[in-house]
A and B are shown apart, each in its own frame.
Chain A
Amino acid sequence: MSTSTGSAGTRRVNVAAARRRQAMADGWKEFARNRAGLAGLIILLAVIALAAVIPLFAPASVLDVTQVTAGRNESPSLANPLGTDPAGRSVLALLIWGARISLVVGFAATLVSMVIGTVMGMAAGHFTGAAQAVLMRLIDFFLVVPGLVLAIVLSSIIGPGIATIVVAIGVTSWAGTARLVRSQTLTVEARPYIERAWALGASDAHVIGRHVLPAVMPLVLANTTLTVGSAIIAESTLAFLGLGDPSSVSWGGMLKSALDTGAATGGYWWYVLPPGLAIVIVVLSFTLVGRALESVINPTLRGR
């Protein structure tokens, strides 16, 4: 809305802005009432902050196997609180550096998945006839096909690397979102104001962009939070199977080298436990935040 229409227009803008602020404040209050969700949010912010500042405390050179000073597979001590890995590097430093890859890949893959899922879901809900039939088949297909196996196929063809993993996870994980967005699109498009828009001569692009998209966005956002957790597990799984970037440190990659070097059967628990615990904590936090967001958006879920 433009402000050039004079004082009446300005006031209208302010009213709308105030209403939006009020809605945000109400939403936040509802979110904050969910203590588990709040705890998840705090943990996530702490992990992100830690991953952001780690280069200040432990420069990338600590990850260089040619510059290690400690012995191999040392048990935890004061100098290395979580011991050292099979190459003599500090597990604690690896762990925090690994958070960067896991978070970046988790967010990037989720972005890819959400964009595909939202577009496909809205299109499948909006269009009818042959286009809809084709889109639904496609969604159904990606819903049933084993995602991890497809992701393995994709990433082993394209070649290992971070971008590959992002694409592989994004391309194989959007169907659930598409299904969700589609049913929401159907609900929204049955409302009278869409009929009004059609009657005024709105185009497909207008209806989707101005009416459907804003209506499905909150749902997509809550779903995003849940998907980031899944994407982080998927990333660690692919890295564990050796499809990650071998030159960068990630939680899945650490666990892979734990299996390869026999750390698990050798009893080096300090190299096996921390990366997995880190994954569990971060993924659980995303799940808790996602569930709290869901209950903000969908009041019928409250108190469950």
Chain B
Amino acid sequence: MSNALSAADLVPGEPALDEPPRASSWLRYAALKAGGAVVSLIMVVLLGFFAFRILPGDPVRSLAEGRRVSAEQMDLLREQLGFNDPLLTQFLRYLADLAQGRLGYSYTYSEPVLNLILDRLGPTLLLTGTAALISVVLGLWLGQRAAWRRGSLFDRTQTGLALVFWSVPTFWLGLILLLVFGGGLHWFPTGGLVTAGTTATGFPLLWDIARHMVLPVVTMVAVVYAQYLMVMRASLLEEMTSDYLQTARAKGLREDLVRRRHAVPNALLPTVTLIFLTLGGLVGGAVTVETVFSWPGLGLLTFQALSAPDFPLLQGTFVVFSSIVIGMNFLADLLYRFLDPRLRAA
């Protein structure tokens, strides 16, 4: 969830569950991680199918909820949507469709799910990418400063603030900004990707988008940076008593250089993995932030799919969101290997 950062994550030491005990060859490592990612993807695909077919709850009934639909019409709908076929037939059809990139057909938009998702992918990547970048830079920078001056006023205020922001539900912070900037100050637009009916192109269009991004990005950053701050702080504290720092000081390095060149690079290693592990949480944040600010991305699409409810669309967004996160984690594993020289030399 938005918050799945447990105590374990704050204590580095076991970077990944199946980290090989000693350095083995690059290729073997990459193959191992790729295998893991593929298994996860297969599980997403299976879950995407079976959750919608096996769990209690009738998709057709939910679809017909609140409307006058006779039993015959519901049967017809079941027939049309293929729910009457044997489960195996349905599953094979789902796999065949997926292999061809078809994610099903949306009930509410009367459009292929894939088209809808592709339309919304760009804005989501723009929003979460920007927010993630700012959060990481801000969180890591504040975290290492706080750890280096542990117990100082700076440390106590930053840690306190981070704990408070960590406890804030993303969507509520969005509502507050909406209250301040939508109801009172009109500094920034409060909804959408561009001003409605705009014909701007080129630079004015970019400027318009940037202005629309301010509030959603601020909301996401405020809630997410705190985790990175805490992780970086804990990770650097772990390094603070190491002998090599003593050595660095003994050879006459300035305190500043000891921190920047020796302590921080080592503390960054476990932090990188943890940053990528929180990507799933970032996606969760996208759902609520996009809903509050009507940002036309995958998160808003997920919300629209669940309020309809439009199960093929929901299934599609789940598969796509999960695939993105699994892919990013795979990249993180490779990156980790590259960043840690002890593992790189094999």
Contacts and interface: CB of A to CB of B under 8 A. Distances in A.
Contacts of B2: 148, 230, 233-234, 237
B17 A148 contact: no
B103 interface: no
Interface centre among A141, A222, A229 (most CB of B within 10 A): A141
Given A146-B321, A153-B318, A223-B7, A265 B179 contact: yes
B64 to A, nearest CB: 13
- Category for how many chain A residues contact B: 35 or more
A180 B303 contact: no
A15 interface: no
Contacts of A154: 51, 55
Given A264-B178, A279-B172, A233 B318 contact: no
A205 B325 CA distance: 37
B266 interface: no
Interface stretch (A3-11, A66-74, A192-200, A240-248): A240-248
B55 A149 contact: no
B140 interface: no
B302 interface: yes
B9 to A, nearest CB: 7
Nearest to B308: A156
Interface in A249-290: 252, 255, 258-259, 264-267, 269, 272-273, 275-276, 279-280, 283-284, 287-288, 290
Per DSSP, chain B at the interface is helix
A183 interface: yes
A255 B172 contact: yes
A182 to B, nearest CB: 8
B57 A158 contact: yes
A240 B170 CA distance: 11
Q: Which has the most chain B C-beta neighbours within 10 Å: A140, A169, A269, A273?
A: A140
A176 B175 contact: no
A209 interface: no
Contact of B307 (A242, A287, A290): A242
Interface in A179-225: 179-180, 182-183, 219, 222-223
B66 interface: no
Interface residues of B, number: 72
A144 to B, nearest CB: 5
Interface of A: 136-137, 139-141, 143-154, 156-159, 169, 172-173, 175-177, 179-180, 182-183, 219, 222-223, 226-227, 229-231, 233-234, 236-237, 240-243, 252, 255, 258-259, 264-267, 269, 272-273, 275-276, 279-280, 283-284, 287-288, 290, 294, 303-304
Instruction: List the 10 closest A-B pairs by CB distance, nearest first.
Output: A148-B284, A276-B172, A176-B6, A230-B3, A267-B183, A180-B8, A283-B167, A146-B280, A284-B167, A265-B182
Interface of B: 1-9, 14, 17-18, 36, 39-40, 43-44, 47, 51-52, 55-57, 59, 62, 150-151, 163-164, 166-173, 175-176, 178-179, 182-184, 190, 234, 237, 277, 279-281, 283-284, 287-288, 291-292, 302-303, 306-307, 309, 311, 314-315, 317-318, 321-322, 325-326, 329
Given A230-B4, A265-B179, 15 more contacts: A136-B17, A137-B40, A143-B277, A145-B40, A149-B322, A179-B6, A182-B17, A219-B7, A229-B3, A233-B167, A237-B284, A240-B288, A255-B171, A264-B179, A284-B164
18 contacts: A140-B40, A146-B283, A147-B4, A152-B314, A158-B55, A158-B56, A175-B4, A176-B9, A179-B17, A236-B172, A237-B2, A241-B303, A255-B175, A259-B292, A275-B172, A276-B168, A279-B168, A304-B234
